[in-house]
Amino acid sequence: MSKETQRVMNRDFPRVMTLLRKERGLSQKSAAADMGITQALLSHYEKGKRECGLDFLVRAADYYSVSVDYLLGRTSSGSGVTISEQELPESSVSEKYEGSISGMTTFLRKKLITNALEVIFALLMKTKNSELSKTVCSYLISAVYRGYRMVYSAGGGNDENSFAVPSGKVSGMVSAHLSLEDIRAAAAAKSGTEDEKITTARIEQEFPKQSAALFTIITEAEKSLQKLDDINR
């Protein structure tokens, strides 16, 4: 087993194994028995105290009906099925990209983000939690605002006086606002939702194409965050 695989096993495998068992409402004892190991050994796997062999990795993937890549945290899609950015559904407003590599990349990334947001908003509406909806929307509005300011500032001749918030303060102010909305979202979440439990299987079933975009973003975001975490260690 490569060092990279071992590192992934130590970090992601325990988390995913625990998540899958709890999503299915299984006890450690019953899951362990079904997979032919002791409860103590499964507990060690879920806590990251032991590394499993390839045979058990495949057995666990079959048992939970997910891909090995999902167990290893290499994809956020349980089925392991991927969809290219070109295959993603078009958004309601479709622009033509300019014939450059950067234009093509931006166009495809836009499709990825747009489709992921459709899943988020669909789930948000089902929660019937007005405070949570307000907070998530406020968070996204600030993120979009910051993105526009980044693009605007890239043009050296653009007048920063077009905005009420000075360019020297915008980054810190947006970061502070996003942190505040994080706190508000956590408080709003305590009120609960009227929606059913969110699982990977449910997302893939309800949003067969858009879910691929969401899971791709989750995977890419977590890779970036984990790299940052590795640097800070």
CA distances to 21, 45, 167 from 39, in Å: 13, 10, 57
Helix axes 3-11, 13-23, angle to 10 degrees: 40
Ranges in the chain annotated CATH 1.10.260.40: 3-71
pLDDT per position as a tens digit, 159-212: 787 788 888 999 999 999 999 999 999 999 888 777 778 888 889 899 988 998
pLDDT per position as a tens digit, 47-64: 988 888 889 999 999 999
Do 38 and 44 touch, CB atoms closer than 8 A?
Answer: no
pLDDT per position as a tens digit, 77-132: 666 555 555 555 555 444 555 555 566 678 788 888 999 999 999 999 988 889 99
CA distances to 26, 44, 65, 129, 145 from 206, in Å: 23, 34, 18, 20, 30
Tokens, residue 14: 């325990």
pTM over 0.75? The answer is: no
Instruction: Write out the CATH class of domain 3-71.
Output: mainly alpha
Q: Check residue 184 and give its pLDDT.
A: 94
Can you tell me whether residue 99 is helix, strand or coil? coil
